Structure 1
Amino acid sequence: MFSEARTMTDQDTSPQAIPDREPPVQITHLRKVLGGRAILDDLSLTLRPGEIAALLGPNGAGKTTLIGCLLGLLSADAGTVRLWGEDASALRAETRARIGFVPQTMTGFTWFRVGELMAYLADYRARPNDTEDRTWEEWAALDPNARIKTLSGGERQRLAIVLALRFCPDLIVLDEPVASLDPQARYDFMRLLPAYARRTGASVLISSHIISDLQDISDRVIMMRHGRIMLDMTAPDIAATVRRLSAPPETEWGVDIIADQGADGVWVRGWHPALDDAAAGAGNILLPGDVERLFLALTR
């Protein structure tokens, strides 16, 4: 199951200048239709300060559309998307400067040199006195004189991460950020990201197909399918209360079936250790399970 290493104590001690009265992200009954099909259907989600949330879902689940609506790149057909209490489609420049976004693939700006692009985009900052975090530049290890058109896919992705995070955003949104990184760069990034969040109190929403990358850093797991949220739980709650059984549970056990895999067993929520003996007495076997298996069961 997901690691419990990131505790509420870590989050409570993260430095924040002035506490925000509104959550970084509050999405209510969001609906988005594209091509006559509801890509997002009555989706609600709140992201809390200092939280790292893993956004999981198969291709076509609506993850990228959700991120587009969250960033104000797509308009909602119904519902609301608010960042720190402001409508996502009409953010003040100062509020937008608090967001760092890393797309799956960085495109454009190919005629710039790396250092030129960093200086160019820095001039558009709404908060010009922000402290720059050089950690990300050191991690990326890019030649500032290299032209972007000569960079490999992995190098461009490292540049996208630097551009998004170098000015210490309060909300970080990442859409498949590590798919093109080599194993070492991916490992180091997944180590640096939670350390950054603890140090600054930033909130993180990270979408990825590589579940193993997320299981050690996430406080919360959000699983999507067909534009809806199938499961939204904290990592400790999943570890403590979600189990896979060889057969459906007895009614008196008081647990909820969240996925039925037939001969491969059922997933239940609401489990507690006192039920272990009851399951064994009924011949119901607790089967090995992990977040990846749960994801496949909920999204197939």
Structure 2
Amino acid sequence: MLHPALLDRLCKTYDGRKILDDISVSLAPGSINALLGPNGAGKTTLIGCLLGLLVPDSGAVRIWGENADKLSPETRCRIGFVPQTMTGLTWFRVQELKDYLSAFRNQPDGAEDRRWADWAALDPKARISTLSGGERQRLAIVLALRFSPDLIILDEPVASLDPMARHDFIALLSETVQRRETTALISSHIISDLERICDRFLVMKKGRLIGDLSAEVFAGEIRRLAIWPDTALGLEVLADLPDGSVWVRGWRPELDARNLPVLAGDMEAYFLALTR
């Protein structure tokens, strides 16, 4: 089975600085993948290459086996993209823009369209130039997802949403992926949202992929210890912190009975330890 998206040894340089440095990632069907990293890590550049908007210096990007910069119209229609900020086309009214874009795509599924329209709660007669930042972001999400895409790529989609809209969006996105076996890649700094729904976490720093693990592995094998572990335990140290604590991999159920000094730690704490 062809994976929806495959990045193979991707490299991209700007002004002599490597923005993407040998990135290889494969996105599995029906998965929700978190793309994490501090500002300047290369996340938006990676997304640009994935969409075919940027051409890498070397390496390959394939969407269902097609080169990302030469996608067929049929394949492009299977992709939904939500940018960090929606700009342009502000002279349209909400419904006018929805109708206009429908002329370039297959007709949206009625139930899916209503589901996202109800969540966005936008006045169809409102001119886009009068919408707030959060309302424009809700519109961008509706425009991308109402056509039931098979691959959803989201670049900071919730940054301008209020807490209720963000909470409901995350839940609705998870339901959509599970119901339709869609694949999603979502970049966000709000890691607590992603931890609720993501199957896999990709961590970038200075253009490199420094972490790639599933939610299952994180819950089962990753721990934060107050002290360095004895080497006889066979644990791999992933990151050490100024307070003397360490993140380790390779935890096993039998270690629970050893009374080791395990500290509380969530995905956000792990991300900060890897990227500090």
Distance 2:90 2:242 in 1: 52
Partner of 1:159: 139
Partner of 2:3: 23
Q: Which has the higher contact order (CA 8 A, sep 6+)?
A: 1
Residue deviations 1:29-78, cap 9 Å, x none?
00011121100100110000000011111111111111000000100101
Distance 2:43 2:4 in 1: 18
Partner of 2:178: 198
Would you say the 8 A contact 2:108–2:146 is kept in 1?
A: no
Pick the aligned partner of 1:37 from 14, 17, 22: 17
Secondary structure at 1:259's aligned position in 2? strand
1:250 is aligned with what amino acid?
D
Question: Displacement of 1:264 after TM fit?
Answer: 3.5
Residue deviations 1:256-298, cap 9 Å, x none?
11101143411111111222344x3xxx511111111100000
Residue deviations 1:101-128, cap 9 Å, x none?
0001000001111111111111111xx2
* 1:54-203 alignment, distance < 5 Å: 54-125=34-105, 128-132=106-110, 133=112, 134-203=114-183
TM-score, normalization: structure 2?
A: 0.96
Would you say the 8 A contact 2:107–2:147 is kept in 1?
A: no
Distance 2:115 2:158 in 1: 17
Distance 2:205 2:30 in 1: 26
Question: Displacement of 1:129 after TM fit?
Answer: 4.6
TM-score, normalization: structure 1?
A: 0.89
Partner of 1:299: 275
Distance 2:76 2:232 in 1: 51
Secondary structure at 2:26's aligned position in 1? strand
Distance 1:213 1:81 in 2: 28
Does 162-171 or 241-250 show the bigger shift?
Answer: 241-250
Distance 1:29 1:250 in 2: 36
Displaced runs of 4+ in structure 1, greater than 3 A? Answer: none
Question: Aligned pairs, how many?
Answer: 274
Residue deviations 1:184-238, cap 9 Å, x none?
1111101100000011110010010001111111111111111111111110110
| Structure 2, unaligned runs of 5 or more | none
Q: Does 1:258 align with 2:238?
A: yes
1:229 is aligned with what amino acid?
L
Distance 2:58 2:225 in 1: 39
**Identity in percent:** 60
2:33 is aligned with what amino acid?
A
Distance 1:129 1:146 in 2: 22
Would you say the 8 A contact 2:240–2:273 is kept in 1?
A: yes
